[in-house]
Amino acid sequence: MKYLGINRFGQTTLEYILILFIVVSTAYIVGTKFIKPTYKKLSQRIEAKIQDTFKNSLYYFPVKKVR
At residue 67 the predicted structure's pLDDT band, cuts being 50, 70 and 90, is low
Q: How many structural domains is the chain composed of?
A: 1
**Chain-wide mean pLDDT for the chain?**
80
In angstroms, the CA 8 to CA 16 distance is 12
In angstroms, the CA 37 to CA 27 distance is 15
pLDDT of 48: 85
Domain range holding 33? 1-67
User: In whole angstroms, how far apart are CA 30 and each of 16, 21, 36?
Assistant: 21, 14, 9
* pTM for this entry: 0.54
